[in-house]
């Protein structure tokens, strides 16, 4: 039976958390499944500089493309937003998280230990991958580990494994300094204490030997998130969550009871798993109408998405 990753790969070829490289040595993180108008939706993260890699923040990445390849700043009809859209013909290398993990565990003791902890708890190695700096060879001894779990079932087993392994001190909770660093990197509009409250109950961030680890889930994208939509206006809503089964998906989807929208869709990783079934949700973002005439609230319409959020309402 094929793994979830290979089944997804057969359908989409490019998956979120992959990296692609252009002939000029520009490395992009893929943010959506498949292609749109023969382009891969991704975001410029690194430039090759001799034998090394230079990481770019959002401002510098956008500036670099505007100056050097403005035609790669693409208006996505499906998302009704400007994104980095790389033509398939301009891809010189494709980095896949699942392919990289096996080789890296041979060379990296901490990563090998981490994989062993998960497999001992029933998470198959075939459902795992590694992305970020490890995937493209930009990591150092203290680099964060960004572990990808393919398939909703495997991801939930991985979260349960984190709880068990933490209780046995095989894994450790993040320190306050690590949480503050994570918060600073996200640029989240929530206050630190509120951010921390939401994050601690997700069981997808922890440390091993002092190294921060982040788990993310890649699975078949929710059908409602695949439909093209047009933006209407910015809104803030409060609604009861009726179904959180796709709250850790990519993007995260919350079905809600509300007079205006049926779903809240979050493209920003910070807002995955943020609110649970039965809880009240508050969300700020763009009201959209999709091709099925359904209205939805979308959070994360740009990489920084200032002022957009999902939180548990008081």
Give, to the nearest 10 degrees, the angle between helix 109-120 and helix 152-167.
100
End-to-end CA distance of the chain: 45
Q: How far apart are CA 247 and CA 293, in angstroms?
A: 22
Burial class (CB in 10 A: 0-12, 13-18, 19+), 50: exposed
Residue 302: the pLDDT is 73
> What are the distances in angstroms from CA 218 to CA 8, 97, 238, 300?
9, 11, 28, 17
207 and 172 Cβ atoms separated by less than 8 Å? yes
What's the mean pLDDT when you consider all of the chain? Answer: 94
Report residue 305's pLDDT band, with 50, 70 and 90 as the boundaries. Answer: confident
Peptide bond into 251 cis (omega under 30): yes
Q: Is residue 296's pLDDT more than 90?
A: yes
pLDDT digits (tens, 9 = 90+) for 55-114: 999 899 999 999 999 999 999 988 888 899 999 999 999 999 999 999 999 999 999 999
**What average pLDDT does this structure show over 258-264?**
95
Give the residue among 101, 225, 103, 220 at the shortest CA–CA distance from 155: 220
CATH value of 224-312 in 3.30.420.40, 1.20.1250.20, 2.40.50.140, 1.10.15.40: 2.40.50.140
Q: What pTM, to 2 d.p., does this model score?
A: 0.94
Residue 212: the pLDDT is 97
Sheet holding 211-218, edge to edge: 128-131, 145-150, 211-218, 205-208
pLDDT digits (tens, 9 = 90+) for 118-154: 999 999 999 999 999 999 999 988 899 999 999 999 9
Give the residue among 256, 185, 246, 257 at the shortest CA–CA distance from 218: 246
pLDDT digits (tens, 9 = 90+) for 161-189: 999 999 999 999 999 999 999 999 887 89
Domain ranges in the chain? 19-95, 97-218, 224-312
Give the residue among 40, 41, 44 at the shortest CA–CA distance from 62: 44
CATH value of 97-218 in 1.10.3470, 3.30.70, 3.30.460, 3.40.50: 3.30.460
């Amino acid at each position: 039976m094929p793994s979830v990753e290979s089944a997804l790969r057969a359908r989409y070829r490019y998956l979120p958390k992959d990296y692609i490289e252009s002939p000029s040595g520009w490395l992009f993180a893929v943010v959506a499944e498949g292609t749109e108008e023969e382009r891969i939706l991704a975001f410029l993260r690194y430039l090759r500089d001799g034998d090394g890699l230079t990481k770019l923040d959002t401002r510098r990445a956008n500036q670099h493309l505007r100056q050097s390849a403005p035609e790669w700043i693409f208006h996505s009809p499906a998302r009704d937003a400007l994104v980095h859209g790389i033509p398939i013909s301009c891809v010189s290398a494709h980095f896949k998280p699942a392919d990289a993990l096996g080789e890296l565990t041979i060379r990296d003791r901490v990563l090998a230990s981490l994989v062993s902890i998960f497999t001992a708890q029933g998470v198959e190695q075939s459902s795992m991958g590694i992305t970020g700096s490890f995937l493209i060879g930009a990591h150092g001894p203290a680099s964060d580990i960004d572990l990808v779990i393919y398939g909703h079932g495997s991801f939930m087993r991985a979260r349960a494994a984190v709880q068990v392994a933490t209780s046995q001190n095989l894994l450790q909770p993040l320190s306050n300094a690590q949480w503050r660093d994570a918060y600073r990197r996200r640029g989240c509009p929530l206050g630190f204490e509120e951010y921390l409250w939401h994050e601690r109950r997700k069981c997808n961030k922890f440390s091993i030997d002092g190294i921060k680890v982040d788990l993310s889930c890649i699975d078949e994208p929710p059908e409602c998130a695949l439909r093209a939509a047009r933006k209407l206006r910015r809104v803030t809503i409060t609604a009861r969550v009726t179904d959180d089964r796709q709250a850790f998906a990519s993007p995260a989807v919350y079905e809600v009871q509300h007079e205006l929208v049926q779903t809240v869709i979050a493209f920003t990783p910070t807002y995955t798993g943020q609110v649970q079934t039965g809880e009240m949700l508050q969300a700020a973002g763009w009201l959209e109408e999709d091709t099925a005439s359904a209205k939805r609230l979308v959070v994360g319409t740009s990489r920084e998405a200032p002022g957009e959020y999902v939180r548990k309402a008081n």
